């Protein structure tokens, strides 16, 4: 996953500019049917019982990974083809913190459940 411009600026200001950055108390994973960029954008899934899901991370070295499965509600309508995910700082709206395209796109239809297994959502700094 890549950091968004928003988070890059916050980290640089915090570390090198002396501006305090308070990390969000809760992080959420959002699903997208079009690509996002460093500045955000993309088309987030909506409707069909979709809601962003909370995520917690465990960090080891230069990588942090989700420490438990992330499971979205059973779709009550087609979501379309999910091609990307993002970590957000709010349940709705808010700021994109990190994002990535999926290794394999996934079409979500009525009755499907989208799941990210523990350890599969990795954010790495190099």
**pLDDT tens digits for 46-71?**
999 999 999 999 999 999 999 999 99
Query: What is the overall mean pLDDT for the chain?
Result: 95
> Is the per-residue pLDDT at 126 higher than 90?
no
Q: What is the pTM of this model?
A: 0.93
C-beta separation of 29 from 116 below 8 A: yes
The Cα-based distances of 111 to 55, 73, 95, 114 in angstroms read: 23, 9, 29, 10
**pLDDT tens digits for 95-113?**
999 999 999 999 999 999 9
Give the CA angle between residues 85, 88, 93 to the nearest 5°: 110
Residue 40 pLDDT grade (very low, low, confident, very high; cuts 50, 70, 90): confident
> Is the per-residue pLDDT at 115 higher than 90?
yes
Q: What pLDDT score does 37 carry?
A: 87
Measure the CA–CA gap between 11 and 97, rounded to whole angstroms.
11
Measure the CA–CA gap between 63 and 61, rounded to whole angstroms.
6
């Amino acid at each position: 996953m890549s950091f968004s411009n928003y988070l890059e600026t916050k980290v640089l200001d915090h570390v090198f500019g002396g501006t305090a950055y308070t990390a969000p108390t809760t992080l959420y994973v959002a699903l997208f049917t079009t690509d996002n960029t460093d500045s955000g954008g993309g088309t987030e899934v909506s409707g069909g019982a979709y809601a962003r899901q909370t995520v917690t991370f465990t960090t080891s070295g230069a990588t942090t990974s989700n420490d438990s499965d992330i499971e979205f509600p059973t779709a009550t309508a087609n979501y379309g083809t999910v091609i990307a995910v993002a970590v957000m700082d709010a349940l709705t709206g808010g700021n994109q913190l990190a994002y990535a395209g999926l290794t394999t796109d996934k079409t979500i239809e009525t009755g499907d459940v989208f799941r990210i297994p523990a350890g599969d959502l990795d954010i790495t700094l190099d």
